[in-house]
């Protein structure tokens, strides 16, 4: 998918009520309470990851005060999972309003894993964990025993955004799982919905 005239087509699955509200002209923002409700038992880990994302992504694209987290969108429609009560929305968004990354990298952060720029870099970090006897990578983050390894782990998460500049300069990485975070959805971006 390329960016045309400064815009990009993205897809997102939203509750029908939210999709209807957007069609009626309301701007949709994500509240942290939605994330808390969605992830219940494991919300602590997810709230830390989402909080980290919000702080970092707001440096790339300024965050409106009303936005507490990002709206997840996808370059490939098949990643916008359709569930009963949801509408898949096709959006035409100004490229400068989106923060681009790979879904697989975001999943690594949610699982408290290292995000390397290359597979070799990730393998080197895994070897380092083996030398320290770490069996579960998440222990590095969740326990106080590995401060240096935790610092490396958290620093690696900045690699999540390594494709953002490339996309905004007209290139597009050849990954199917490209995703974009938006701070909101506006009516004028809703080019058409599938439901």
What is the reported pTM?
Answer: 0.90
Residue-level pLDDT at 195? 46
Residue-level pLDDT at 184? 98
Residue-level pLDDT at 46? 79
Residue for token pair 């709206």:
71
| Residue range 78-89, pLDDT digits in tens | 999 888 999 999
- Comparing CA positions, the residue from 193, 161, 170, 163 lying closest to residue 77 is 193
List the beta bridge partners of residue 190. 91
**Token output for 86:** 């949801």
Cα–Cα distance measured from residue 31 to residue 109, given in angstroms and rounded to the nearest whole number: 20
Rounded to 5°, angle at Cα 113 from 58 and 62: 5
- Report residues of the chain scoring pLDDT below 70: 1-3, 39-40, 42-43, 191-195
Residue-level pLDDT at 125? 97
In sequence order, which residues have a C-beta less than 8 Å from that of residue 79 and are 6 or more positions away?
11, 103, 176, 177, 179
């Amino acid at each position: 998918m390329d960016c045309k005239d400064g815009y990009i087509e993205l897809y997102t699955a939203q509750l029908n009520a939210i999709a209807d509200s957007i069609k009626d002209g309301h701007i949709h923002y994500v509240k942290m309470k939605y994330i808390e409700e969605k992830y219940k038992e494991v919300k602590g880990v997810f709230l830390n990851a989402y909080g980290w994302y919000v702080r970092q992504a707001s440096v790339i694209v300024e965050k409106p005060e009303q936005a507490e987290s990002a709206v997840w969108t996808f370059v490939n429609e098949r990643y916008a999972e359709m569930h009963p009560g949801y509408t898949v929305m096709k959006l035409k968004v100004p490229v400068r309003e989106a923060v681009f990354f790979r879904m697989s990298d975001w999943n690594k952060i949610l699982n408290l894993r290292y995000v390397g720029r290359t597979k070799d870099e990730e393998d080197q970090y895994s070897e380092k964990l083996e030398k320290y006897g770490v069996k579960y990578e998440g222990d590095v983050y969740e326990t106080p025993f590995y401060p240096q390894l935790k610092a490396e782990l958290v620093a690696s998460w900045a690699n999540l955004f390594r494709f953002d500049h490339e996309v905004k300069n007209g290139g597009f990485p050849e990954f199917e799982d490209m995703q974009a975070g938006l701070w909101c959805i506006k009516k004028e971006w809703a080019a058409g919905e599938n439901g």
